[in-house]
Structure 1
Amino acid sequence: MLFDAERHHYQVLNIGWKEQRRIYGVIIHVEIKDKKIWIQRDGTEIGITNELIAAGIPKKNIVLGFLAPYKREFTDFAVG
């Protein structure tokens, strides 16, 4: 896990080896910008976005940063 509380960047990484092959990948990348939670990457089965909503975070405070900006307006989430 990587947490940069000063710049409000949070990541969960998969790092290691599987047999002779190197594994490195970002599973979750979340930022807090302009009082909104930006989901930049969500590689989980459950979905970090669903977890945030279940925790009481309103959709208007969540930006799906992995979507192109023009597509965000067609969701129930913040556009940015």
Structure 2
Amino acid sequence: MSSAVEKAVEALELLPEDLQEQAADYLLSQAKKFRALKDAIAEGMADVDAGRVVPWDLEEFLKQTRTQVRR
């Protein structure tokens, strides 16, 4: 077992029994969010590397949005 896993198990064991399940669920939820964010960043960087990303012009975006709202 890795050091990180051992530390997580030790931390969970220090909690009262009625909080252990909730804490483990929270840790798993945060790990899943981290993985999703990491994957999204990797996808975005792949888009940059492949040239599928263009600079965003905020002024042009606002101009187009204002034009659409006025219609």
- Which TM-score tier does this pair reach, normalised by the shorter chain? under 0.3
Larger fraction in helix: 2
Q: Who wins on radius of gyration, i.e. which is larger?
A: 2
What TM-score, normalized to structure 1?
0.21
Q: Does 1 or 2 have the higher relative contact order (CA < 8 Å, sep 6+)? A: 1
From the two aligned structures, give the one with the greater strand fraction.
1
TM-score by length of 2: 0.23
